[in-house]
Amino acid sequence: MSVPAGTVYLVGAGPGAPDLLTLRAARLLERADIVFYDALVHPEIVALAARAEKIAVGKRCGRHSAAQRFINKRLIDAAALHTTIVRLKGGDPMLFGRAQEEIDALQAAGVTVEVVPGITAALAACADLQTSFTQRGISRHVALVTPRIGEGQDPSDWIRTVCHADSAAIYMAAGQSSALSASLLEAGLPAHTPVVLVESASLPETRRIYTQLAALPQAAAQLGDGPALILLGAAFARTVAAAASMDLAVLRTAGAQAR
């Protein structure tokens, strides 16, 4: 059996803003023969692949999307026909991006794989807030988690991880805010734990909602249709307090529930 001649590049598109794409990623897109791109990748980033065939294979919660095994097969088939294949993923490929499944399938088929990192949403959200995720003496260890699990997989222990971290970013969970809040409160996280919801991080239309854990469901109800991240913990205490001095509406709800 012949070995596929093409190389598949798993490329991080970053959190959204086109100008946060790395130079290496941009150069690969410019010379790509074919690009398989996620739903959340900005159209201007996809457009950089001017000479490439472009195929949408994105996954979004609650919407029809391509099965992972189908994506794996398309990548393997493309490597037999093309020299430069780009698998363009939102954020960083190696964080909640199913990269390992694609790497394993490609390597098993004898396809050469390279990974190009991108900026993950949690770091972009902290940059938008001008709040460091790690702070000396305040937030010395952080957690990046998601409650979402694949079909047939065992639940993860993400709740304990969040409770033991100084600060945390919870991915792909805004739609589960009621259950998430209840689980964290039951696990012992204080009701007044500062929370910031960041929607469409790094983009001009970004939205930020400042609240506390007990009021997370009400805050999440204000979100639009953009990808949202939940940031919580000690790193965001001053940020939430500063917002409270300007607008107490959401925080009063949290205080009432906490009592």
Give the end-to-end CA distance of the chain in Å, rounded to a whole number: 69
Indicate if 77 belongs to the active site: no
pLDDT exceeds cutoff 60 at 248? no
Collapsed DSSP state (helix, strand, coil) of residue 36: strand
Q: Per the domain annotation, does 83 fall within a domain? A: yes
pLDDT at residue 150, rounded to an integer:
64
Collapsed DSSP state (helix, strand, coil) of residue 54: strand
* Domain extent for 226: 121-258
Nearest to 176 by CA among 219, 213, 196, 147: 147
pLDDT at residue 66, rounded to an integer:
72
Q: Per the domain annotation, does 64 fall within a domain? A: yes
CATH at 20: 3.40.1010.10
Boundary of a domain, candidates 66, 90, 116: 116
Q: Per the domain annotation, does 2 fall within a domain? A: no
- Domain count of the fold of the chain: 2
Backbone angles phi, psi at 172, to 5 degrees: 55, 45
Indicate if 73 belongs to the active site: no
Q: Please write the tens of the pLDDT for every residue from 108-141.
A: 999 999 999 999 999 999 999 999 999 999 999 9
Q: Please write the tens of the pLDDT for every residue from 141-166.
A: 999 999 987 666 667 789 999 999 99
CATH at 195: 3.30.950.10
Q: Please write the tens of the pLDDT for every residue from 82-117.
A: 999 999 999 999 999 999 999 999 999 999 999 999
Average predicted confidence (pLDDT) for the chain: 91
More confident residue, 2 or 198: 198
Query: Do 138 and 94 share a structural domain?
Result: no
Which of the following is catalytic: 19, 33, 54, 59?
A: 59
Which of the following is catalytic: 38, 77, 104, 166?
A: 38
pLDDT exceeds cutoff 50 at 174? yes
Q: Per the domain annotation, does 60 fall within a domain? A: yes
Query: Do 127 and 111 share a structural domain?
Result: no
